[in-house]
Amino acid sequence: MAAKAKSGNAIVETIKTIVYALLIAGVFRTLFFQPFWIPSGSMKETLLIGDFLFVNKMAYGYSYASCPSLIMPRFGINVDAEDICGFAKGDNTRILGGDPERGDVVVFRHPVSGRDYIKRLVGLPGDRVQVKDGVLFLNGEAVKQVPAGQFEEVMARQGPQGLTPRCENGPVGEGGACTKSRFVETFPEGREHVVLNIGDQGSDHTPVYLVPEGHFFFMGDNRDNSADSRLPQAAGGVGFVPYENLIGRADRIMFSSAGRSMLFFWTWRSDRFFKGIE
């Protein structure tokens, strides 16, 4: 009987340990840092498919969007942040709120779908944002762009979804060199980052968008391969993003995998360990 009692106690203690660990992990993820895996190429070359990073949730304070989501379709799990903290949604405010800066790379909740997106903040409240002939204009002034060579990658399927890159140098066979024009863009405040160009398309020519109070305008660095604020929500895009939908700022890549899974350590990119995000 004593052996059975000890066995039962061990099982209870194991369950307690797991529950406590999950609670601690949940609190840590809610208050401090949230892991994020880059699924698409919309932020190349700043972020590549397979980059793994932690999002700094302390940077902008906390809102309903700070609650973690747990979405695992394979196991039928779909717990959204709004399911947990939806009671706090709607007032577009934050606790211990901090102001994001132009040029920050931000993870936010899509205002309609609720999915997590990562883009660069280009438009602040009150800004007039427009893209003309592929050049970003802020408040009527062109943002400086300087040609900086080419971005080159291998034409191959990337990440768990097996996405293939788009190339400026036309149709490229598997294993070939896929290139895009590369530019260094400098915001009025002096912050620099790299943007890529593939070709002329509709998103290179937009109307003037006036960013509402309490909202922000986001764009991907891979300008011709990004669904972002240039497309209104009514048309299936991101549109203006409310302050309360910000999750946090991406500051540093922890590691990066060029394979189908982050567990395939032999595909990790050695040059991206702890790489700062500019």
User: How many Å apart are CA 190 and CA 175, to the nearest integer?
Assistant: 38
> What kind and span of H or E run contains 64?
none
Backbone angles phi, psi at 116, to 5 degrees: -80, 130
- Which residue out of 40, 42, 229, 257 is catalytically annotated? 42
Q: Omega of the bond prior to 45 within 30 degrees of 0, cis?
A: yes
The residues near 107 (Cβ < 8 Å, ≥ 6 apart) are 34, 36, 55, 116, 117, 118, 246, 247, 248, 249, 250
Instruction: Please indicate whether residue 119 is annotated as part of the active site.
Output: yes
Contact 238, 111 (CB under 8 A): yes
**Within 13 Å, how many C-alpha atoms sit on residue 176's CB side?**
13
Contact 120, 230 (CB under 8 A): no
Contact 99, 105 (CB under 8 A): no
Backbone angles phi, psi at 101, to 5 degrees: -110, 150
Instruction: Please indicate whether residue 42 is annotated as part of the active site.
Output: yes
Q: Tokens representing 162?
A: 């097996």
- Which residue out of 44, 57, 119, 180 is catalytically annotated? 119
**Residues forming the active site:** 42, 119
